[in-house]
Amino acid sequence: MSFNWCFIGTGKIAHRVAKQIITIDGHRIVSVYNRTKEKALTFAKIYNSRVYDTALEAINDPAVDGVYIATTNETHFPFIKLCLENHKPTLCEKPLTGNAKQLQYLLELSVEKKTFLCEGMWTWFNPISHRVKEWIKQHKIGNILDVKCCFCVPIFGRKNNARLVEIDKYGGALLDLGVYCVRYVYELFGIPKSILSEGKLYRGVDFVNKAKFFYDNFTATITSSFNHFYGDYCLIKGEEGTIKVPLFHRANKAILKNKNGRTVYRNTTPKFVYQFLQVANDIKSGKKESLISLKSSLEVLQLMDEIRKQVGVVYQCDLDSP
């Protein structure tokens, strides 16, 4: 199947994704828009794409089958809105918007315009995550006792980290890293009964974020941080065993230990490939949603809104009406 992508944004993730997309048979990046045109030109030279001066022109290139938005968080809402208003099926990087209120607006617009929209939550296009979910459903480790999900990466000293640390860019550990933890726990166990969060803020942005999700018989602890290296893993303890997923958001393996011994499930296929293949298939077959439903993205954003409320992170979108 052939599929022609339009890229909005040509930053770090756009380049990482593009390298994998062009390995998929029939997939091409035909049109590109970036705020700084020189960077779009450099990108287009590598991927043999056409550069446009505006996002509107890029998405309206007649060859485009779907749009991929890879710009900073605070720009997702206006770019998604532009795509939906122009009936362009869209995959947008995580988190889809700054808060649930913005996504509620876009969800209704997507229904009104009968146009596909999906969050680029690549972790849940990865077969490893689905295997972990199956193991839990099949009671491979019995009743759950405790869950820890950590995604902590020190970013100090990194160049060009404005998108991570500035409040105007909707920066912060929760929206950048914690979104994966919240989604992971939500996918495995659903919406918690209650949440208790604490964070350390600098200039209004959370550098450390810890949230406890309380379920009927256990607690899931979610930690995201730019400050310390606590690790990048999910550990699920049950009455009859454990499941560990190293680097859970981009995992190549999951390890199950129970009375039957140790089982390792591996998958080393480049992970963006799954996401882009699935989304392209869904768009071509006329679906309006993919594996990551808008309802699920909305529920995850509602959980993140609650965490931000408790730790005191306020973005411009919380003050504006959409």
Ligand X SMILES: NC(=O)c1ccc[n+]([C@@H]2O[C@H](COP(=O)([O-])OP(=O)(O)OC[C@H]3O[C@@H](n4cnc5c(N)ncnc54)[C@H](OP(=O)(O)O)[C@@H]3O)[C@@H](O)[C@H]2O)c1
Residue 75 lies near ligand X (rule: CB under 6 A): yes
Secondary structure element (H or E) that encloses residue 272, with its range: helix 271-284
Q: Give the pairing of strands 117-120 and 90-93.
A: parallel
| Binding window for ligand X (CB under 6 A); candidates: 12-20, 203-211, 212-220, 310-318 | 12-20
Q: Per the structure block, which two tokens stand in for 39?
A: 């960077």
Candidates 27, 163, 244, 308: give the one binding ligand X (CB under 6 A). 163
* Site size toward ligand X, by CB under 6 A: 22
Which residues, 83 to 142, sit near ligand X by CB under 6 A?
Answer: 93-94, 120, 122
Candidates 1, 2, 12, 45: give the one binding ligand X (CB under 6 A). 12
Residue 256 CB, nearest approach to ligand X (Å):
25
For residue 89, whether the previous peptide bond is cis, meaning omega lies within 30 degrees of 0, is no
Q: Per the structure block, which two tokens stand in for 150?
A: 């950590």
Query: Cβ closer to ligand X: 144 or 232?
Result: 232
Residue nearest to ligand X (CB): 11
Residue 206 lies near ligand X (rule: CB under 6 A): no
Candidates 31, 49, 73, 297: give the one binding ligand X (CB under 6 A). 73
Residue 107 CB, nearest approach to ligand X (Å):
19
Candidates 28, 35, 139, 253: give the one binding ligand X (CB under 6 A). 35
Residue 178 lies near ligand X (rule: CB under 6 A): no
Residue 29 CB, nearest approach to ligand X (Å):
14
Estimate the share of the chain in helix, then strand, then coil, as percent rounded to the nearest 5. Answer: 40, 25, 35
Neighbouring CB atoms inside 10 A of 65's CB total 18
Q: Which of 290, 273, 269 is nearest to 24 (CA)?
A: 273
Q: 7 - beta bridge partners? A: 32, 68
Residues that bind ligand X (CB under 6 A): 9-14, 34-36, 39, 70-73, 75, 93-94, 120, 122, 160, 163, 176
